[in-house]
Amino acid sequence: MPMTALNAKCDAVAALMKTLAHPDRLRILCVLMGNAQTVSEIVLATQMSQSQASQYLNRMKLEGLLQSTKDSTLVRYSIHDPKVIALVQSLSTIFCNSDPEGAF
């Protein structure tokens, strides 16, 4: 692989890892692993403020990690990037299988 291609891939992975490095954003992704959720459902599951959750959701949507769909009057968020799903599943396998509570 040419060095320029390797550099581009490393930059992309580093940006993704930076997003995952924040515990609240990681919690949101874990909540979204099951299915699409509204902001209210995410707030209830993560116990963060609606403002904070909305900011994180917006950032991750702009970065291409999430997508939103309108369901009647509600907006539902889901993970858009299959690589993110695979990565969060891998993290869960590594860190949650030995955890008796089953969570990060």
Domain boundaries, the chain: 3-96
The whole-number pLDDT of residue 91 equals 87
pLDDT of 89 higher than 60: yes
CA-CA distance, 82 to 48, in Å (whole number)?
25
**CB-CB contact of 65 with 77 (8 Å):** no
pLDDT at 98: 56
Q: Which of 74, 60, 48, 67 is nearest to 21 (CA)?
A: 60
- For the domain bounded by 3-96, which CATH number is listed? 1.10.10.10
Predicted TM-score (pTM) of the model is 0.82
Q: How sure is the predictor about 1, in pLDDT bands with cuts at 50, 70 and 90?
A: confident
pLDDT of 103 over the 60 cut: no
Q: How many residues does the structure list for the chain?
A: 104
- Phi/psi at 80 (5° precision): -90, -35
Reported as type and span, the H/E element at residue 100 is none
Q: What is the mean pLDDT of residues 4-26?
A: 89
Compare 71 and 83 and report the one with higher pLDDT.
83
